Chains A and B, each alone.
Chain A
C-alpha cells in the first residue's frame, strides 16, 4: 500500500517532468522487462523491439494514469501487453519475408552482409554528425523559448485539417523575412500578424503555438539538413516547402 502511494506520487511527478519520467522508467526496468518477457513468451533482451515497445508503453501509462481508476502497475502491465500484441499483429504482415539481418545457416553472416553495399558509410557518418549538430543547435534555440522537442511533439496537430491550417500559416511566416527574424530573435510567435497574414484563426495558431514556432525556427538560417529532410517530402508531393 505504501509502495503504491509512492508510485502514484512519482507517476504524477513524471507526467510533467521528462527527467523524472526517465528516472522512474529506469527504476522499473526490471518490471518492464519482465512484463515484456511474459508477453513474448521468451526472455526479452534490450535488443528486442518488444523491449522498446514495453518501455514506451510504460511511459504511455505514466502519462495516461489516473489514480482514481486503479493501481498503476496493473494499468502499466495492461498497456505493455496490448502494445506488444499490437506490434505482433503488425509484424505478421511481414511473415514469409526474409530478413536482411537474419542469420543464415552458414556461419554468422547475414543476408545484408552478402549483398552488395554501395552506401557511403563514411559520408553517412559525417552526415549524421552534421545533422546532430543542427539538431543540437535547434534544441538550444528552442529551449531558450522554454520548449523541448517533446513539447513540440505533444503540440503537433493530429488532424489533417488542423495540420493544413498550420501549414498555411507557416507558409506565410516563411515568406515574411522580417517575421522570421523576429521569431529567431525573441523566440516568440507574433500570432496576430500570422493570423492576419494567413487568414487562419488565431485560436488555432495559439493552440499549436509551439509546433509552429519550432517549424518557423527550422526555416531560419542554419538548418539546411533538417530543412532538406522536410523539403524532400514537399518535392515528392510537388508542393511548396512546408
Chain B
C-alpha cells in the first residue's frame, strides 16, 4: 500500500494510506506530499484529546486481564497481610491485655499490653489521679513505674515508712498474670521495700500461688502457710533482716491484708481453721485445701482477698508453672 505524507515533524510523520487510514509513522526524512511504500508505524499514539485518553485507559484495563490481574491479586493480598500485621502489632503492643492495680491509699490502675508495654495509667480515686498527674510512663517497665510511683507517693506524703502497697494483677491470661507477678516480686517489690521500708502485697486475681516464693516461706513458716487460704500477712520474712520488706519479696502470692479480719501478722498458725471449712480436701497439706477453692471467689468478697497467698506457702512441691492447676487435681 502506498501512503501519502501529510505532515512531518521532527520525530514522526503523518501519512494517509490509500485505504483512508491516517497513521503516525517514523519520519525517515520524508517530505510532505511524498508517496511512500515502506512505513514504520508508531505503536503508541497519544493525544491531548480527553475522550481519546478515556479510550486509552479502557484499553489498558482490558490488557490487565493476565498479568494485571495477578498483580491486583498480589496487591490485595499484600494489603490484607499488612492489615492483619497492623492489627497484630496493635494487639500486641497497644491494646490493653491486663491491668495492675496499685493501692496505697491513692489507687492507680496501670493498663498493659500483651508485650508488657504500659498503655495507660489512670488514677482510680482522687488521690490516685493526683499521684499520676504529670507522671510520664512512656517507655518504662512495670517495675519501674511501680517503683517510681511508690517513691512519688512517699514524697507526696501518701506513703509512710513501714506503710503498705497493695498490688493486684488482673488479666484474662493466667500466664500473663504469673509473669507480671514474677516481675513485680523480683523487681519493684524488692527495690521498693528496700528503699522505702514498706510492705508490699501482691495479689493475683486468680491463682496467687507463685513457685519462687514458696521455698522461702516453707523454711520460714511452713506450718502457717499450709492451712490458711484466706489471709496471709507476710510481714515477717525471716530471711532478711528487715522483716517487712523481705516478706514482700518472698511471698508474692500471699496477701497481707490489713483489711482481712483474720489475724494479720500472727495469723499464720490460725489459718487451718478456715481452710478446713473451705477446702474439701481432707489432707492436712495446705495447698490442697486451697485448690478446692474457687480461686476467683477468693480474693475479694468473702475472704478479704487474702486467701490466695496461702496456697503458695504450703506447696513446696509446686512448680512455678504448674501452680494454678496442679493444686486442683487433688
Chain A interfacial positions (CB closer than 8 Å to B): 15-18, 21-22, 25-26, 46-47, 49, 52-53, 55-56, 58-60, 62-64, 83, 87, 128-129, 131-132, 134-136, 138-139, 148-156, 163, 167, 170, 206-207, 211, 214-215, 226, 229-230, 232-233, 236, 242
Taking the closest CB of chain A, its distance from the CB of B209, in whole angstroms, is 62
Given A135-B32, A226-B4, answer yes or no on A60-B43 (Cβ-Cβ < 8 Å).
yes
| Chain A residue at smallest Cβ distance from B48 | A16
Q: For A18, what are the chain B residues with a Cβ–Cβ distance below 8 Å?
A: 9
Cβ 8 A contact of A56, one of B1, B20, B27: B27
Q: Does B46 reach chain A (CB closer than 8 Å)?
A: yes
| Chain B residue at smallest Cβ distance from A58 | B11
Taking the closest CB of chain A, its distance from the CB of B38, in whole angstroms, is 9
Q: Does B2 reach chain A (CB closer than 8 Å)?
A: yes
- B49 near A229: Cβ-Cβ < 8 Å: no
Q: For A233, what are the chain B residues with a Cβ–Cβ distance below 8 Å?
A: 1, 17-20
- B47 near A154: Cβ-Cβ < 8 Å: yes
Q: Does B62 reach chain A (CB closer than 8 Å)?
A: no
- B9 near A211: Cβ-Cβ < 8 Å: no
B31-42: contact bitstring with A at CB < 8 Å (1 yes, 0 no)? 111110000101
Q: Does B45 reach chain A (CB closer than 8 Å)?
A: yes
- B16 near A151: Cβ-Cβ < 8 Å: no
Cβ 8 A contact of A25, one of B4, B10, B48: B10
- A26 near B10: Cβ-Cβ < 8 Å: yes
Taking the closest CB of chain B, its distance from the CB of A51, in whole angstroms, is 9
Given A226-B16, A229-B18, A233-B1, answer yes or no on A132-B32 (Cβ-Cβ < 8 Å).
yes
Q: Does B22 reach chain A (CB closer than 8 Å)?
A: yes
- B46 near A64: Cβ-Cβ < 8 Å: yes
Task: Indicate the member of A26, A128, A134, A170 with the most B CB atoms within 10 Å.
Answer: A128
Q: Does B109 reach chain A (CB closer than 8 Å)?
A: no
| Chain B residue at smallest Cβ distance from A16 | B48
CB contact list, B23-74 vs A, under 8 A:
23-29, 31-35, 40, 42-49, 51-52, 55
Given A52-B27, A63-B44, A233-B17, answer yes or no on A156-B1 (Cβ-Cβ < 8 Å).
no
Interface size on B, residues (CB 8 A): 41
- A155 near B49: Cβ-Cβ < 8 Å: yes
CA A214 to CA B16, docked complex, whole Å = 11
- A60 near B44: Cβ-Cβ < 8 Å: yes
Task: Indicate the member of A46, A136, A149, A170 with the most B CB atoms within 10 Å.
Answer: A149
| Chain B residue at smallest Cβ distance from A151 | B47
Offer 29 A-B interface pairs, CB within 8 angstroms, sorted by A: A15-B48, A47-B29, A49-B28, A52-B28, A55-B10, A55-B26, A56-B42, A59-B11, A63-B45, A63-B46, A64-B44, A64-B46, A83-B43, A135-B4, A135-B32, A136-B32, A149-B7, A153-B24, A153-B45, A154-B24, A154-B45, A156-B22, A163-B21, A170-B20, A229-B18, A229-B35, A230-B16, A230-B18, A233-B19
Beyond A55-B10, A154-B47, list 18 extra A-B contacts (CB 8 Å): A22-B11, A49-B40, A53-B40, A55-B27, A56-B12, A56-B25, A59-B42, A60-B44, A63-B46, A129-B33, A132-B33, A139-B6, A148-B7, A149-B22, A153-B22, A154-B24, A154-B52, A232-B18
Cβ 8 A contact of B6, one of A17, A22, A25, A135: A135
- B20 near A215: Cβ-Cβ < 8 Å: yes
Q: For A16, what are the chain B residues with a Cβ–Cβ distance below 8 Å?
A: 47-48
Cβ 8 A contact of B22, one of A63, A129, A214: A214
Q: Does B14 reach chain A (CB closer than 8 Å)?
A: yes
CA A150 to CA B22, docked complex, whole Å = 9
- B16 near A229: Cβ-Cβ < 8 Å: yes
| Chain A residue at smallest Cβ distance from B23 | A153
- A87 near B27: Cβ-Cβ < 8 Å: no
| Chain A residue at smallest Cβ distance from B10 | A22
- B46 near A156: Cβ-Cβ < 8 Å: no
- A154 near B20: Cβ-Cβ < 8 Å: no
| Chain A residue at smallest Cβ distance from B43 | A60
- B9 near A22: Cβ-Cβ < 8 Å: yes
Q: For B29, what are the chain A residues with a Cβ–Cβ distance below 8 Å?
A: 46-47, 52
The list of the 3 closest CB pairs from A to B, nearest first, reads A63-B46, A233-B18, A131-B33
